[in-house]
Amino acid sequence: MNRSFMLVVALIAFTAPAIASDYMQGDMHIMQPWSRPLPAVSTNGAAYMTLMNTGGTADKLIAVSTPAAKKAEIHNHFMEGGLMKMRPVGALEIAPGTPTVLQPGGLHVMLMGLTAPLVAGESFPLTLEFERAGKVEVMIMIMDPEQSGDGQMKHDMKHDKSKMSGG
């Protein structure tokens, strides 16, 4: 094998873990799970991803858990009285054929009581439990939003407040 080919293979092998992966569980496609790096003093964080139900029947994300935090819940941001607020949403319905995007400024997995700092380049497991598809463990890659694999994410984060509506 030529030297250039070996170099490309080595580069792919070393950079692949730094890119968030996709997962399938039943009809549920979990795409690009990631989280932001946070200062060591932060006690709370969030995880983001896109969920796509490829089946013909709605499913629900009914629980989330991780050893990276004492508690994990599905939350949403919303405007109320001119203030941005956040609230748990309980189960999250995932309609067939329509992506459900968990992103900064919107739906997300809230991580409360972090057990360790969220450091760029590291990852942690998160278990998603769906009503129909069952449980699936995904690895949350900790990376800056520009590296998350979502080309629109940086743009969306700058404008997500203007897209918010109450409740």
CATH number of 123's domain? 2.60.40.1890
Does residue 11 lie within any of the structural domains?
Answer: no
Q: Tens digit of pLDDT for each residue in 51-92?
A: 999 999 999 999 999 999 999 999 998 888 999 889 999 899
| Residue 129 binned pLDDT confidence (cut-offs 50, 70, 90) | very high
Does residue 98 lie within any of the structural domains?
Answer: yes
Least confident piece of the model among 16-25, 34-43, 91-100, 107-116 = 16-25
| Residue 153 binned pLDDT confidence (cut-offs 50, 70, 90) | very low
In what helix (H) or strand (E) does residue 132 lie, and over which residues does it extend?
none
Domain total of the chain: 1
13: pLDDT strictly greater than 60 = no
95: pLDDT strictly greater than 90 = yes
Q: What local confidence, expressed as pLDDT, does residue 160 receive?
A: 37
- Write out the residue range of the structural domain in which residue 149 sits: 20-163
Does residue 3 lie within any of the structural domains?
Answer: no
Nearest partner of 133 among 73, 57, 31, 72, judged by Cα: 57
| Residue 147 binned pLDDT confidence (cut-offs 50, 70, 90) | low
Q: Which pair of tokens denotes residue 123?
A: 């990852």
Judged by phi (left if over 0) then psi (alpha if -120 to 50, else beta), residue 19 lies in beta
Does residue 7 lie within any of the structural domains?
Answer: no
Are 18 and 143 a contacting pair, CB within 8 Å?
Answer: yes
Does residue 149 lie within any of the structural domains?
Answer: yes
